[in-house]
Structure 1
Amino acid sequence: MKVEIHKLFDYLLDTTTEKPDAVLGFSLSSSPTLGAFLSDLDPNLSLDWNCQSFQGLPALRGHVLRQANLEKTCSPDDVLITAGAAEANYLVMRQLLQPGDEFVLETPGWPQAGVMAKALEAQARLIRREEADGWAFPMGALRAAVNARTKLIFLTNPNNPTGRLFSTEELSEIADIARQHGTYVLVDEVYAGLEWDGERRPSIAGIYERGITTGSVSKALGLQGLRTGWLICRDRELVFDAIILRENSSEIMNIMGEVIAEIALRPDRYHAAMTKARSEGETNLEMLDRFIEEQPLLSWVRPQAGLIGLARLHLDMGGEAFARKLLAPPYKTFLIPGDAYDQPNHIRLGVGGGAAVNLEEGLSRLAALLEELQG
């Protein structure tokens, strides 16, 4: 079946011609420039493929395991470098799911999974997180949903878009539920490493033999333009199936993306970049949290991790109408409506981008619109 557009991308396409003065939904850390990497780049680097492995540069795959704390559990052969986490997710879903297969996914969650379920004619079974429960994951609902026909469970940790974290115990329980039926579990970890509440949670690839961890350098490191991500799985057949599919789509990775990502994930650089990302994110999160506390027309469950969260609008106006009004003059401020995540009474707020997104000014304009609507 034809892949249809989802609301998030539809809204982005519809608003790209606007020139906002401030952004309230920035979802990645501030981006470094190419100049930050020039001293480590070889000017004689061939712009052919890496000529070493179809799975990606070996050094890069080693860094991927190190940052996910999987060095003792997984090997570089368990890693496939992809064109972002989105391609990693796509390769898994496209190879595992056939028409009629059951596919368990969470809502709110990353919209890609729902789009692919429909396109692949898989039977989507939704696990609903509720705001009243702090967006906690309803484990009982998962246990009831998974059966012998369930091919894949798709989750995010931290949850995208609420920032709710799975605990280590919850991840182990998910693995136990899946293991009973031989079901694969994919956990998208694009925001891992940006925990505001405790330590980084373990990756499912290290917990469960059919666990698949996906991630990228896009969000926490602000390197979205490199289009460099990965999947990690101890099931070598699944990894090889993903290689086969990629051979018929993107075929190989772009060498500049691989090389710069390898540099960015070197331990010293990675730790410095993550320290900066956490500091900037926490500063913006505290500002946003104080703002929401003072606004009678807004409330939210503060994210435990990541750079985005959902805030409830206590208005008759829905999220998309509100977002479009905020984007128009005189406010000229951008955010994503909750409609993109099947939460029409919400708006997505982001704390990424550091000082460049002009968050304080954006909040001032948001306050002015709320005051107008309240009046």
Structure 2
Amino acid sequence: MKVKIHTLFEYLLETTDAAPEAIVGFSLAQSPTLGDFIDDLDPNQSLDWNNRDFRGLPELRDHVLRQAGLGGVCTAKDVLITAGAAEANYLAIMQLLQPGDQIVIETPGWPQAEVLAKAIGAEVVKITRREEDGWQLPLGQVRDAVTNKTRMIFITNPNNPTGDLLSTNALAELVTIASAKGAWLLVDEVYAGLEWDSQRAPSVAGMYERGITTGSVSKALGLQGLRTGWMICPDAELIRDAVILRENSSEIMNIMGEVIAEIALRPGRYASALADARDAGQRNLAQMNAWVREQDGLSWVAPRAGLIGLGRLPERIDSDEFARFLLAEPYRTFLLPGSAYDQPNHIRLGVGGGTAVNLQEGLDRLEKALSDWPGR
């Protein structure tokens, strides 16, 4: 099995040393500092593993269930703490998919599932979200795509990168589609909690015996550097298989990630941090919406949830060429080209980072680069 590089990661690798002066497309909430947790940390904390459970600290797993709305529905035994949602997705996909299996994924969407499925030798079937439909997931196409060969359906909700949000009824329909063929339904929820025009959708682990919910503290809480996430699934065999695979990769959870994540997810603290992230995100989203309306030829479907969306570039501007143009002098501004999500006429716009990201500076530079683009 050889895992081939994806366009998204390839661009990040190529531009690591660019040292941009501004960023447009920040994808997570403003990050707290270690000092924000010092008073709650025990200086005598052992840096060995947690010595209590291979699946992660029990109290942390209880918090994970609570924030996902699964308290009383699932138990702590249904939760595995992982190195971010990415590892949770990896463990599920690698243990469930075999060569020749079929996986149904969305585009635009988080590319990890496609990369891993191709490495395994599985058949990838893409369901296309269309901008003219507000990036909604076409459930009819999902239903038509799922066959007896389908082993898994993989989606993100809220959608990464468009910010579309599936309703409770839509998720129930996906469960019906998956269960009719005995397929697993994995829903990556890294942006859950940051909904702008409706309530948080239910977690699929509480709706379906083969439902897998993954998430992390990275996006809504800005704790990306902890590399702490989770998998929730009521199927005990899958959780055990995931533990076995992790034992042969990252082995056991990093204790500081567990401990700080447990503090961050304590009910009062989590509610306060999430409220701050929502307030900052809504302010930046309003600023972004106003800016987009003023741009000639640039448009976007504003995200209904999460901190990123896709902006459509004016005609005849290629996203890869424009992203590199914007990163060079005199603009020195970073953003991800839409080609990372199979959308070469788009760019990723983000409203994360709170006040620290200085969104207006990045937008001013982006506006000038659009104006300076040759031929405009």
* Aligned position for 1:4: 4
* Aligned position for 2:61: 61
* Aligned position for 1:218: 218
One-letter amino acid of the counterpart of residue 94, structure 1: M
* Aligned position for 1:282: 282
* Aligned position for 2:206: 206
1:330-361, Cα deviation, whole Å (9 max, x unpaired) = 01111000000000000001100011112101
1:296-320, Cα deviation, whole Å (9 max, x unpaired) = 2211111000000000001312111
Q: Distance in 2 between matches of 1:29 and 1:108?
A: 22
* Aligned position for 1:36: 36
1:57-105, Cα deviation, whole Å (9 max, x unpaired) = 0000000000000002100000000000000000000000000000100
Confirm or deny: 8 A CA contact 1:102 1:123 kept in the other structure: yes
2:13 is the alignment partner of 1:13: yes
SS in structure 2 at match of 1:125: strand
* Aligned position for 2:227: 227
Q: Distance in 1 between matches of 2:109 and 2:238?
A: 24
Correspondence 1:328-367 to 2 at 5 A: 328-367=328-367
Q: Runs (4+) of structure 1 moved beyond 3 Å?
A: none
1:92-136, Cα deviation, whole Å (9 max, x unpaired) = 000000000001000000010110111011000111101111101
Q: So what's the TM-score if we normalise by structure 1?
A: 0.99
Q: Distance in 2 between matches of 1:60 and 1:43?
A: 19
* Aligned position for 1:319: 319
Q: Distance in 2 between matches of 1:321 and 1:359?
A: 22
- The CA deviation at 1:372 is 1.7
One-letter amino acid of the counterpart of residue 247, structure 1: E
* Aligned position for 1:98: 98
One-letter amino acid of the counterpart of residue 43, structure 1: P
One-letter amino acid of the counterpart of residue 142, structure 2: L
- The CA deviation at 1:208 is 1.0
2:249 is the alignment partner of 1:249: yes
One-letter amino acid of the counterpart of residue 219, structure 1: K
Q: Which runs of no fewer than 5 residues in structure 2 stay unpaired?
A: none
SS in structure 2 at match of 1:37: helix
Q: Distance in 2 between matches of 1:362 and 1:48?
A: 43
1:14-68, Cα deviation, whole Å (9 max, x unpaired) = 1111111111011000100000101111111111100000000000000000000
One-letter amino acid of the counterpart of residue 184, structure 1: W
Q: Which runs of no fewer than 5 residues in structure 1 stay unpaired?
A: none
* Aligned position for 1:159: 159
1:245-270, Cα deviation, whole Å (9 max, x unpaired) = 00100010000000000000001110
* Aligned position for 1:292: 292
Q: Distance in 2 between matches of 1:356 and 1:21?
A: 13
Please identify, of 358-367 and 162-171, the stretch whose mean Cα deviation from structure 2 is larger: 358-367
SS in structure 2 at match of 1:330: coil
* Aligned position for 1:188: 188
* Aligned position for 1:111: 111
One-letter amino acid of the counterpart of residue 126, structure 2: L
Confirm or deny: 8 A CA contact 1:83 1:229 kept in the other structure: yes
- The CA deviation at 1:207 is 1.0
Q: Distance in 1 between matches of 2:184 and 2:211?
A: 6
One-letter amino acid of the counterpart of residue 62, structure 2: G
Confirm or deny: 8 A CA contact 1:297 1:370 kept in the other structure: no
Q: Distance in 2 between matches of 1:363 and 1:156?
A: 27
One-letter amino acid of the counterpart of residue 362, structure 1: G
- The CA deviation at 1:223 is 0.4
* Aligned position for 1:307: 307
Q: Distance in 1 between matches of 2:8 and 2:29?
A: 20
Q: Distance in 2 between matches of 1:21 and 1:359?
A: 12
What is the Cα-based RMSD across aligned positions, in Å? 0.7
1:127-160, Cα deviation, whole Å (9 max, x unpaired) = 1101111101111111111121111000000000
SS in structure 2 at match of 1:336: coil
Q: Distance in 2 between matches of 1:87 and 1:199?
A: 27
Q: Distance in 2 between matches of 1:178 and 1:48?
A: 41
Q: Distance in 1 between matches of 2:299 and 2:324?
A: 20
Q: Distance in 1 between matches of 2:84 and 2:369?
A: 36
Q: Distance in 2 between matches of 1:156 and 1:294?
A: 30
2:145 is the alignment partner of 1:141: no
Q: Distance in 1 between matches of 2:365 and 2:44?
A: 49
